[in-house]
Amino acid sequence: MTYIVFLFLIGLILGLIAVASNPSPYFAALGLVVVAGMGCGVLAGHGGSFLSLVLFLIYLGGMLVVFAYSAALAAEPYPETWGSRSVVVYMGMYLLSVVLVGWVFWGGWYEGSWVSADEFYEFSVFRGDIGGVAVMYSSGGGMLVVGAWVLLLTLFVVLELTRGLSRGTLRAV
């Protein structure tokens, strides 16, 4: 199980590098799908299967639709691909920085510290992720509402920025 979670973490890092280094929204969408899938795999590997499912459905069902809509409005005739020189340079720099940071912190990482939420199931009354959802809705209800408002505001900002050529902030001069 440790090796599977390790592969999910490597895929998560490579997906984040693909999103961060690519200026074209077309190819960054594939990186976002990889990041969402690998992040949900890491959560499921640590015992949060319900939160993993909720994250995957909400992220891919909501935010990726908004991202695809704004990418369609900001269409480029010749988008930069992952093989372009600038994108390869950025990917190399990000990968080198991840390797250097990993090398610096390598001594504190042990496989025994990767314990899932259900590892000590005989001592708990309910699963770890279900209890987290209950706490999120009871104690963190205010932050949940604030987060929903921020996402709505982000939607309007993105749609205003990519409204079209004649109106909006991003237009040809």
The yes-or-no verdict on residue 112 having pLDDT over 70 is: no
Least confident among 41-45, 50-54, 55-59, 62-66: 62-66
Count of positions (residues) in the chain: 173
Residues in CB range of 85: below 8 A, 6 or more apart: none
**SS3 (DSSP) at 109:** coil
**What is the average pLDDT across 22-49?**
80
- pLDDT of 114 > 80? The answer is no
pLDDT at 129: 64
Smallest CA-to-CA distance from 67 within 118, 27, 40, 104 is with 27
- Model confidence band, residue 157 (pLDDT cutoffs 50, 70, 90): confident
- Per the model's pLDDT, the better-predicted residue between 145 and 72 turns out to be 145
Q: Which two tokens stand for residue 36?
A: 């969402």
Interval 77-95: pLDDT, tens: 677 777 788 888 988 999 9
Domain map (residue ranges) of the chain: 2-104, 140-173
Which residue matches tokens 């693909």? 18
105-116: average pLDDT: 64
pLDDT digits (tens, 9 = 90+) for 122-136: 555 556 566 666 777
pLDDT value at 1 more than 70? yes
